[in-house]
A and B are shown apart, each in its own frame.
Chain A
Amino acid sequence: MPPRSSPQAPATRLVVGPFNRVEGDLEVRLDVRDGAVAEARVVAPMYRGFENLLEGRDPHDALVIVPRICGICSVSQSVAAARALADAAGTVAPPNGRIATDLMLAAENLADHLTHFYLFFMPDFARQAYARQPWFAEARRRFEAGAGEQSRAAIAARQRWLQIVGTLGGKWPHTHGVMPGGSTRAIDGAERLRLLSLLREFRAFLERHTFAAPLDEVAALADESALFAWQAQAPERGDLRLFLAIAAAAGLDRLGRGPGRYLVHGNAGAPAGVWDETLDQGAGALLPLDLSGITEDISHAWMADDGVPPRHPSAGATRPDADKAGAYTWNKAPRLRGRACETGAIARRLAAGQPLVRAAVRRCGGTVYTRVLARLLELAEVLPQMERWLAELQPREPFCASDALPDGGQGVGLAEAARGALGHWLRIERGRIAGYQIIAPTSWNFSPRDAAGQPGPLEQALAGTPVGDGEKTPVAVQHVVRSFDPCMVCTVH
């Protein structure tokens, strides 16, 4: 007797990749049923093994090696390593060193947000699939890959903007100026003025092109009705307003909803914590972050299974096994108390109490629309903060304290990269690195299933995404994937 047929139509398997306009290589495996994604599996297809190649080296070598994990969030890797070393050594950076480091990190994060919006995310709306949309011609004029007027202007603005890191840290990416004791490049009074001019130049770009409005006006939008009223006043002006029109027409607020739990390591503008959508009763729901609750599950990663339950990163290990049965990615699955978390600009803006992002998340959760909106609002909010930090620099006062590392010890370095929570866990023995474990933002966001079968945030976000007839690389899937601004080279490292 033949087996009973399933009540559901059989799923069609779609292997999508290589993805571009993400950092690094990415494959997504989809089971498609009834015109939508039924299940998604996210594959990080490349392994380099940075954690292992750090072992045995002088601890300071981490400051040269770890930025090379990632060419787009290089400074954030440096900052996490410097903080892990400072934690182990008990070093405290002088105020100038702390501020200079915060400035470099914020400059990188804002550059990444700009790059994501203009070069990675928006070009998909210039695809022929949208040729019949009333906004298509405008989207194409502004954002067409390699040709769009606004995208070209954004590359030029980014080039000028990253001169901030050129001055503060020598070069970008892979600056070596970030130290446990601060920064290696003291800034004098005249240079501080030149840096301020660079900040003002970038502000002018954002106020003219991205927002077509003063940054303060954008940051002060208190809720979505204020946002949409602001948009309606001048719908043709500025790239945020065009994005809002496209988002409404394409239903981006119903696309790619994540797990609803958000992780923030915290930075100068946002406190650390965990935000849970289901606990938000209007006043916010930022719970304390307990780092001891973090573990990495390797059940579906090409990592040798040693029969040990998921480990905390301070006791973690990375042992590749390309032949492991049931595994489908090089990425481990970080979990906080066993649960998948999303991290990134939404999480930071929620923690910082940004009213518009809180309102948008309350209405529609973490979606393609919310992720992009949160990044753009972060541009509007963080740039004025940087202007204030710069004013706090005290020329002729120290920028770097010396650090004396112990022969043995442990350290934890946390940072907020553009894409979210980044952590380095370091162990030193006999003056050498004895253990180094890294959990990057996209390790969280693009994690695979864990032993309990819980999918990672992107895997959850992709479920239900529409797939058109004959689509081999579904455009809605691309929107969802790119809305996270994934960094695959950080993910596996």
Chain B
Amino acid sequence: MLNVLWLQSGGCGGCSMSLLCADTADFPGLLQAGGVRLLWHPSLSLESGHEIVDLLGACLAGRQRLDVLCVEGALLRGPNGTGRFHLLAGTGQPMTHWVARLAAVARHVVAVGACAAWGGVSAAGANATEACGLQYEDDRAGGLLGAAFRAAGGLPVVNVAGCPTHPGWVVDTLLALAAGVLRAEDLDTLARPRFYADQLVHHGCTRNEYYEFKASAEKPSDLGCMMEHMGCKGTQAHADCNTRLWNGQGSCTRGGYACISCTEPGFQDTGHPFHRTPKLAGIPIGLPTDMPKAWFVALASLSKSATPRRVKANATADHLVVAPATKKTRLG
């Protein structure tokens, strides 16, 4: 069994709460059958107080094998590098010290969520708490453990980034580690598992017809594409949110809100309001990934001029006002 220790620091606990929404009829059974044993998890384990401190000590002393250290939440290095913005309860020791020491004895280290990966929302603005990720600070390698860190198993920190993470991303990562099939080449350039990070949020977006014709939403609850005006970064954000859905049938874009690219480092400080697309001379600054600007401009003007009336009318309504015409789809 893969022994997993899960610790939380400068975050909201939402990745754990999201994990419990994993698409299964028996969550503990899913982990168990996949060869994953939770040594301790903040929401799911019995042990409390001194029992936890004893367990951490046993891991450090080698009396307890530690296969995976999962960290949720940013590492709070402040004030002034002391780590006192989070002293682990019952120990008087900065959480940053505990995490650094445990990472040194763990076979694998997993950053669960944007905060543990890059700092995330906890590092927003002036970052008064000196929050950072395990091995990154926004998109700069480093973080708490340093760019050169490799866990005993040979991998860098595995960044299961997202705010929150999709439960499937975490389950798949743990099950892959348990099966011994997560290799360095399975991680992207930011050490995110490629099984979800090689996708774009745009893939499978239900607004794709609006995107094709540049029929754009203008206000919250409109059905149209949210890239032109509403701040949507789905064409640039790496994640499979619209093919591996959330909480049943959901995703941010299906919920009527722009993708804020929460799997990308630094998403918390975009330099513009989240709900508004920054533009230069009327053209969105953030163009679709892999698309040359001239092509985008040419295609956009062509498709805008070819927008069917139905698509145009529905784009600025909150429900279908024009249904697709019925026509024969067979030959003859």
| A→B interface (CB under 8 Å) | 15-21, 23-27, 43, 45-49, 52-53, 55-58, 60-61, 63-65, 68-72, 74, 115, 119-120, 123-124, 126-127, 144-147, 152, 155-156, 158-160, 162-163, 165-177, 179, 181-186, 188, 320, 322, 395-396, 398-400, 402, 472-473, 478, 489
Contact = CB atoms under 8 A, between A and B. Distances in A.
Which are the 5 A-B pairs with shortest beta-carbon distances?
Answer: A170-B255, A71-B14, A166-B247, A17-B89, A184-B256
A166 B221 CA distance: 15
A29 to B, nearest CB: 10
Contact of B221 (A64, A69, A145, A186): A186
A44 B164 CA distance: 23
Given A20-B42, A152-B28, A177-B255, A166 B249 contact: yes
A326 to B, nearest CB: 16
A17 B90 contact: yes
B252 interface: yes
A322 B92 CA distance: 13
B58 interface: no
Most B CB atoms within 10 A — which of A26, A115, A162?
A: A162
B86 A46 contact: yes
B249 to A, nearest CB: 6
Given A25-B89, A46-B76, A186-B319, A159 B49 contact: no
B38 A71 contact: no
A400 B221 contact: yes
A172 B13 contact: no
Contacts of A43: 89
A170 B251 contact: yes
Contacts of B53: 18
B325 interface: no
B249 A167 contact: yes
Contacts of A115: 20
A117 B134 CA distance: 33
A156 B86 CA distance: 33
Nearest to B31: A146
Contact of A68 (B95, B121, B246): B121
A75 to B, nearest CB: 11
B44 A146 contact: yes
Contact of A60 (B10, B90, B129, B274): B274
B87 interface: yes
Contacts of B268: 65
A168 B52 CA distance: 39
B87 A45 contact: yes
Contacts of A24: 8, 13
Nearest to B25: A156
Interface string B9-28: 11111111110111111111
A176 B44 contact: no
Interface in B76-117: 76, 79, 82, 84-91, 95
A160 B22 CA distance: 10
Given A171-B250, A185-B256, A147 B52 contact: no
Contacts of A20: 40-43, 45, 47-48, 52
A71 B16 CA distance: 8
Contacts of B135: none
Given A16-B90, A127-B46, A163-B248, 19 more contacts: A18-B49, A18-B52, A18-B88, A19-B89, A20-B52, A21-B45, A24-B13, A43-B89, A45-B87, A53-B124, A71-B12, A144-B46, A147-B28, A166-B250, A172-B246, A173-B12, A175-B257, A320-B128, A395-B319
A184 B14 contact: no
A16 B49 contact: yes
B217 to A, nearest CB: 10
A149 B82 CA distance: 44
A483 to B, nearest CB: 14
Contacts of A478: 48
Contacts of A322: 79, 82, 84-85
Contacts of A165: 247, 250
B164 A174 contact: yes
A473 B221 contact: no
Given A60-B275, A71-B16, A120 B43 contact: yes
B136 to A, nearest CB: 18
B122 interface: yes
Contact of B319 (A155, A174, A396): A396
A6 to B, nearest CB: 27
B17 A72 contact: yes
Nearest to A28: B89
11 contacts: A20-B47, A27-B89, A47-B129, A48-B122, A71-B164, A159-B27, A163-B248, A171-B250, A184-B221, A402-B220, A489-B13
Contact of B90 (A27, A120, A489): A27
Contacts of A119: 43-44
Interface in B220-236: 220-221
B26 A47 contact: no
Contacts of A181: 220
Contact of A152 (B27, B52, B86): B27
Given A163-B248, A177-B256, A473 B89 contact: no
B219 A21 contact: no
A339 to B, nearest CB: 28
Nearest to A112: B17
B92 to A, nearest CB: 8
Contacts of A52: 125-126, 128
Contacts of B276: 58
Interface string B46-66: 111111110000000000000
Contact of A26 (B89, B91, B251, B257): B89
Nearest to B79: A322
Given A18-B89, A163-B249, A170-B246, A74 B14 contact: yes
B38 to A, nearest CB: 7
Given A27-B90, A120-B43, A185-B256, A159 B24 contact: yes
A124 B48 CA distance: 10
B27 A166 contact: no
Contacts of A398: 221, 318
A45 B83 CA distance: 11
A159 B220 contact: no
Nearest to A472: B50
B194 interface: no
Contact of A174 (B14, B20, B48): B14
B3 interface: no
B252 A171 contact: yes
A174 B275 CA distance: 15
Contact of A171 (B38, B87, B255): B255
B313 to A, nearest CB: 14
Contacts of A162: 21, 247
Interface string B127-158: 11101000000000000000000000000000
A53 B255 CA distance: 26
Contacts of A396: 319
B10 A48 contact: yes
B163 interface: yes
Contacts of B50: 472-473
A111 to B, nearest CB: 9
